[in-house]
Amino acid sequence: MATVAPPPAAQRRLDRLERIWKEPSGLVGWLTTLDHKRIGILYFFTSLAFFAAGGIEALIIRTQLIGPNGGLVSPEAYDQIMTMHGVTMVFLAVIPMQIGAFGNYLLPLMIGARDMAFPRLNALSYWIFLASGLFIYSSMVGGTAPNAGWFNYVPLASRQYAPGPNIDFYTLGLIFTGIATSATAINFIVTIFKLRAPGMSLNRMPLFAFAILAVSFALVFALPPLTVALTFLELDRALGLHFFDVALGGDTLLWQHLFWVFGHPEVYIIILPAFGIATAIIPTFCERKMVAFPLVALAEILVAFIGFGVWAHHMLAVGLATVTTIYFTAASMIIVIPSSIQLFAWTTTIVTGKPRFQTPLLWIIGFIVLFMIGGLTGIMLAAIPFDQQVHDTYFIVGHFHYVIFGAAVFPVIGGIYFWFPKVTGRMYDERLGKLSFWVTFAGMNLTFFPMHILGLIGMPRRQYTYPAGLGWEFSNLLETLGAYLLAVGLLMVVANLIRSYRRGAPAGDDPFGGDTLEWSVSSPPPSYNFPSIPKVSSPYPMWDREDRDSDAKRLEEGEAVLEGGHETPASTVLDADWDEILDMPSQSWTPFLISVTLLGMFTMLLLQHYVVALGFAVLTGLVLAAWHWKEPQVA
C-alpha cells in the first residue's frame, strides 16, 4: 500500500512527536520501557514461553497415559508435572497472554490513547509477572515443584502431608504473581474509564474494551480471596497456625470456598478477553456491525458479575446442604443466558454479514463450535446428580479444555493472526494459516472429545496410571495421538509467524478493513500511537471515513496533536468529553528494580529467612520512594 507523504507542516509535528516518545533501543530500552506496545510484546513472548512449557508438560502427561500401566515418569513426577501444567496454563500463559499481551498492546490503540493510564505500574506488572513465573518454575530445578494439583486442596497441601518446599513455591509464587495481576487490572480500569479518545462515550467503546473492563473488575474482586487463602495456607505451613487444621478447629472446606470464590470468576476471566477478541474479528471479516451490540456489551459485564455467584458448583460432592447446591446450580444456569446471547449474536452476525473465511475468522468459527460444546457440557454439570456422578472424572477434564483451549486459546490464536500485520507490518501466510487451523482443530477434538466418554465410563482425573480391562485404553490412545496432532498444529502457527515476520508481504495500515482505531495508524504503530488524538462518533470509528479525514486535517492544523511533551488527553468517564491533558512518565528503571527486590523478598520468605526478607521489603520501599521522587518530566 503506497502512502502519500504528509504535508510539511504535518511532517514537522510527526518528527517532534517521534523525538518526544522515542525510547532507547537495545537491552536498556527493553528493561526500562514504559511503552504499552513494547510491554505487550514482552508479555507476549514471556507467556508464549510459559505456554510452551505447559504444552510440553501436557505432552508428558499424555505420553504417560498412552496405554495402561505407563511408566514414563514416576508417580511423584507426574503429580508435579500435572500441577505445573495447570498452574502454568491458568496463571502464567493464558491470562497474561490475553490481558498482558493483547490487552496491553491493543487497548490503548483501540480507545485512542497514547499509553496506559499508569505506564510505570504497567511495566511493574510485567516484571513482577516474569519474576513470579521464574520463581514458580525454579521449583522444578530441585524436583520440588508444587504437587497438590492446581487447586491445591488442604489438608493434602498442609505441612503435615506435604512437608517439602513444593507447596511454598505455589503459595508464595501465586501471591507474588497476584500483585502483578491486580496492578494490571486497576491500570486497565482507569485507562478505560479515563483515557478514551474524546467522543468515545461508553456506548461507543469497542466490545473488546468492554470485555477487558469486565475482566479487570472481576480480577480486582476475585484475587483478594485467593490471596487470603494463600496467606492462610502459608501461615499454617510456615508458622504452624491452624486455619485449615481440622484437629484444632480449622476447616478444610474453607480453602475450597476461598479458592473457588476466586477460581470460578477466573474461568470467566479467562474466556472474556477471548470473547472480546471474537467480537473484534467478526465484524471486520463479515463487513457488518455486530448484531445486538448493547446486548452483547451487557452480557459481557453480566458474565463477569454472575461469575461470582457460582463457585460452590465446584464443590457439589463435598456434602453441602442440598439447598446450597440448588442455589449455586441455579446461578450456574443463569450464567448460561449471557453466554447464549453472545453466541447467537456472533453467529447471526456471521450469517447476515458477508463473511470472508480468512484465517482469523476460521479460528473464531472454530472457537464458536468448541465453546458450544464446552458450554453445553457445562450446563450438564449444573445438573447436580450428574455432576456428582462425573465430578473429578475425565468428563470434567474434557469439559474445561473445550472451554479453556477451545474458547480461550482459539480466539487468542485467531487474534495473533489478526493483529500480526498490525504489530509487525507484514502479512501472515494465508494458506499455512488455514492449514494450521484445521490441524489444530482436528487435534483439539481428538484430544479432548474422548475425555467425555472416558469420564462417563468411570476414569477419575489426576491418575498417573490406570489399569487395563476397564475399557479405558482406546480413548486414552486417541487422546494421546490427538495431543501430538495438536502440538503439530500449534507448531505450524509458530512456523507461520516466524516465516511471515521475515518474508511476509508488507501489510499496510489496514489490510482487513478493520473497524477499530488501531487500524488507523501505521503498521507497526508509531511510539506515540496517534499523530493527533482521533475523533470518535460511533463504535466503529474506522468505518466513519469523515472522522478519519478530519484526523489528518487536524494533524496539519496542529489540533489535538499534544506535541508539547509526553502527553495524552484524559476524558470524562461516561461521555468521554475532553477533560485535561496528562503528563506521562517516560522510561524508568524502578519497575524492573522493584521486581528484583520483590523476587529477593519472596525467595527469602520461601527459605524462611524472615529477617533478610524484611531487608528486601525495606529495599523495595526505597525503590518505591525513588519511583515517586521524580514526577513525570516534560520533554
Partner 1 sequence: MPLWRAAWLSFTLVGTLALSGCGQQSTLDPHSEPARQIETLWWVMLVGSVIAFGGACYLLVIAWRRPERTGLPVVGDSPRAIEATVAVFGIAIPVVALIALFVYSNVSVIQATEPPAPEETAMTIEVTGSQWWWQVRYPGTPAITANEIHIPVNTRVNIVTEAEDVIHSFWIPQLNRKVDSLPGKPNRVEIFADEPGRYLGSCAEFCGVQHAQMDVAVYADTPERFRAWLDNQARPRPTPPTPLARKGEQVFLSKQCASCHTIRGTSARGEVGPDLTHLKSRETLGALTIPNRKGYLAGWVIDPQTMKEGTKMPALDITGPELQALVEYLERLR
Q: Give the footprint of partner 1 on residues 368-427 (CB under 8 A).
A: 368-369, 372-373, 376-377, 379-380, 382-386, 388-393
131-166: string of b/e by CB count within 10 Å (b at 16+)? Answer: bbbebbbbbbeeebbbbbbbbbebbebbbeebeebb
Report the candidate in 275, 160, 308, 153 with the shortest Cα–Cα distance to residue 207: 275
Residue 325 CB, nearest distance to partner 1 (Å)? Answer: 8
Size of residue set near partner 1 by CB under 8 A:
86
* CA distance linking residue 7 with residue 209, whole number of Å: 34
Instruction: Report the Cα–Cα distance between both ends of the chain, in Å, rounded.
Output: 34
**300: number of Cβ within 10 Å:** 27
Kindly tell me which of 37 and 314 has the beta carbon lying closer to partner 1. 314
* CA distance linking residue 594 with residue 619, whole number of Å: 8
Q: Which stretch binds partner 1 (CB under 8 A): 136-144, 258-266, 347-355, 622-630?
A: 347-355
* CA distance linking residue 175 with residue 482, whole number of Å: 35
Phi, psi values for residue 426, rounded to 5°: -125, 155
Kindly tell me which of 26 and 249 has the beta carbon lying closer to partner 1. 249
Contact status: 543 vs partner 1 (CB under 8 A): no
**Geometric angle at alpha carbon 430, from 426 and 434, rounded to 5°:** 140
In DSSP notation, 400-442 reads: HHIIIIIIIIHHHHHHHHHHHHHHHSB---HHHHHHHHHHHHH
Q: Which stretch binds partner 1 (CB under 8 A): 11-19, 311-319, 489-497, 506-514?
A: 311-319
Instruction: DSSP letter for 66, please.
Output: S
Contact 566, 18 (CB under 8 A): no
Residues 574 to 633: which contact partner 1 by CB under 8 A?
Answer: none
Binding mask 474-513 for partner 1 (x = CB under 8 A): xx--------------------------------------
Q: Which of 246, 494, 607, 614 binds partner 1 (CB under 8 A)?
A: 246
Report the candidate in 214, 208, 206 with the shortest Cα–Cα distance to residue 265: 214
Kindly tell me which of 190 and 453 has the beta carbon lying closer to partner 1. 453
* CA distance linking residue 509 with residue 521, whole number of Å: 6
Amino acid found at 552: A
Contact status: 456 vs partner 1 (CB under 8 A): yes
Kindly tell me which of 60 and 333 has the beta carbon lying closer to partner 1. 333
Kindly tell me which of 370 and 486 has the beta carbon lying closer to partner 1. 370
Contact 538, 460 (CB under 8 A): no
Kindly tell me which of 123 and 403 has the beta carbon lying closer to partner 1. 403
Q: Which of 190, 292, 442, 626 binds partner 1 (CB under 8 A)?
A: 292
**535: number of Cβ within 10 Å:** 21
Residues 152 to 171: which contact partner 1 by CB under 8 A?
Answer: 153, 155-156, 161
* CA distance linking residue 429 with residue 523, whole number of Å: 17
Q: Which of 353, 514, 534, 539 binds partner 1 (CB under 8 A)?
A: 353
* CA distance linking residue 401 with residue 398, whole number of Å: 5
Kindly tell me which of 179 and 364 has the beta carbon lying closer to partner 1. 364
Contact status: 470 vs partner 1 (CB under 8 A): yes
Residue 47 CB, nearest distance to partner 1 (Å)? Answer: 26
Kindly tell me which of 191 and 476 has the beta carbon lying closer to partner 1. 476
Contact status: 240 vs partner 1 (CB under 8 A): no
Q: Which of 450, 514, 541, 569 binds partner 1 (CB under 8 A)?
A: 450
Contact status: 75 vs partner 1 (CB under 8 A): yes
Contact 187, 125 (CB under 8 A): yes
Q: Which stretch binds partner 1 (CB under 8 A): 122-130, 290-298, 418-426, 542-550?
A: 290-298
Residue 474 CB, nearest distance to partner 1 (Å)? Answer: 7
Q: Which stretch binds partner 1 (CB under 8 A): 28-36, 50-58, 460-468, 518-526?
A: 460-468
Kindly tell me which of 465 and 522 has the beta carbon lying closer to partner 1. 465
* CA distance linking residue 167 with residue 464, whole number of Å: 19
Q: Which of 35, 57, 79, 509 binds partner 1 (CB under 8 A)?
A: 79
Residue 177 CB, nearest distance to partner 1 (Å)? Answer: 23
Residues 248 to 277: which contact partner 1 by CB under 8 A?
Answer: 252-253
**36: number of Cβ within 10 Å:** 25
Residues 134 to 153: which contact partner 1 by CB under 8 A?
Answer: 147-149, 153
